[in-house]
């Protein structure tokens, strides 16, 4: 299921508006993954990659894409995003035309800021967050949708840089994660060109000792900065095991693969990660909050 969004830029005015229609802007439709952890995070990363040149980001994502996007995010293997063709443009988006999207992200080029607004049913276009960028493109916050539990900052746990092999060894030493007829299996770890460490894992569901379903996901978990704190990474994985064993509902391959706690927070202790994971589950599943 898609979560449509919009990428926009203010055309006049100044200041941080509290409603999406309070300042004039122009923008384009974006069909897939429009939520803050998808398109929102991609836009933050785009400014970082452009080393703070927000105008270049606006030109590429808006000016050179007048018909909008299916997705502007790179696919697996680094493939470029997919533009909507001229003959099949996305829905119109404008300050008075927001009904086709759930989130709108508006760049303020002069103020070096990105404002995020929620426009899905019940939210009425209110601003949910803003991120400002330094002249080099460094954001003042790691995400547009930080949870209160993620704002903690704990003392560093420096150590020898974590390798893919050492991460794999720790995974293989973790207790087996099972939930009813399903079990999680760690497949492999890899170092990506950008020095992140990723994990490929499978959640396998059995029926009468036969494999009924297999879900395989690649989990981009460990940013380069966290590799310098191997105990921090181990504490997070141990906390995940704690929570899944306490609440087997958390053995959800898609939910686990979307967790980005090591980049979003400065938490380092196992107990803190437990609280963050509980908060993520409560946010993502509402009344299905875990124990």
Biggest CA pair distance of the chain = 65
pLDDT for the residue 77 = 37
Q: Which residues pair with 183 in a beta bridge?
A: 178, 204
Instruction: Give the contacts of 240 (CB within 8 A, at least 6 positions apart).
Output: 250, 256, 259, 273, 277
**Phi and psi based region of residue 104 (left: phi greater than 0; alpha: psi -120 to 50; beta: remaining):** beta
What are the tens digits of pLDDT across the range 224-274? 999 999 999 999 999 999 999 999 999 999 999 999 999 999 999 999 999
Q: Please say if the pLDDT value at position 15 is more than 70.
A: yes
What are the tens digits of pLDDT across the range 103-160? 999 999 999 999 999 998 777 899 999 999 999 999 999 999 999 999 999 999 999 9
Tell me the chain's radius of gyration from C-alpha atoms.
20
User: pTM to 2 decimals?
Assistant: 0.83
Each as own residue / partner, the long-range contacts of residues 92-97 (CB below 8 Å, 24 or more positions apart, any chain) are 92/29, 93/6, 93/8, 93/27, 93/28, 93/29, 94/25, 94/26, 94/27, 95/20, 95/21, 95/23, 95/24, 95/25, 96/21
**Edge-to-edge, what's the strand order for the sheet holding 177-179?**
177-179, 182-191, 197-207, 210-222
Domain boundaries, the chain: 5-145, 164-288
């Amino acid at each position: 299921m898609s979560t449509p969004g919009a990428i926009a830029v203010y055309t006049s005015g100044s200041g941080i508006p509290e409603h999406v229609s309070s300042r004039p802007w122009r923008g384009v439709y974006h069909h897939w993954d429009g939520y803050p952890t998808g398109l929102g995070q991609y836009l933050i990363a785009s400014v970082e990659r452009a080393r703070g040149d927000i105008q270049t980001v606006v030109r590429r994502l808006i000016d050179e894409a007048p018909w909008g996007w299916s997705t502007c995010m790179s696919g697996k293997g680094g493939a470029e995003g997919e533009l909507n063709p001229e003959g099949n443009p996305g829905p119109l988006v404008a300050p008075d035309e927001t009904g086709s999207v759930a989130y709108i992200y508006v760049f303020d080029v002069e103020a070096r800021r990105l404002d995020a607004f929620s426009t899905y049913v019940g939210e009425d276009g209110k601003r949910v967050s803003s991120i400002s960028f330094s002249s080099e493109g460094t954001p003042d916050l790691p995400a547009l949708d930080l949870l209160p539990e993620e704002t903690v900052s704990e003392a560093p746990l420096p150590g020898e840089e974590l390798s893919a092999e050492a991460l794999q060894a720790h995974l293989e030493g973790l207790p087996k994660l099972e939930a009813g007829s399903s079990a999680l299996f760690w497949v492999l770890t890899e170092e990506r060109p950008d020095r992140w460490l990723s994990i490929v894992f499978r959640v396998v569901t059995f029926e009468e000792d036969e494999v009924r379903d297999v879900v395989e996901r690649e989990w981009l978990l460990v940013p380069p900065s966290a590799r310098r704190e191997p105990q921090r990474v181990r504490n997070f994985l141990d906390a995940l095991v704690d929570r899944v064993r306490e609440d087997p509902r958390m053995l959800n391959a898609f939910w686990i693969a979307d967790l980005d706690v090591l980049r979003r927070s400065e938490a380092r202790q196992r107990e803190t990660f437990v609280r963050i994971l509980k908060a993520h589950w409560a946010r993502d599943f509402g009344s299905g909050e875990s124990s």
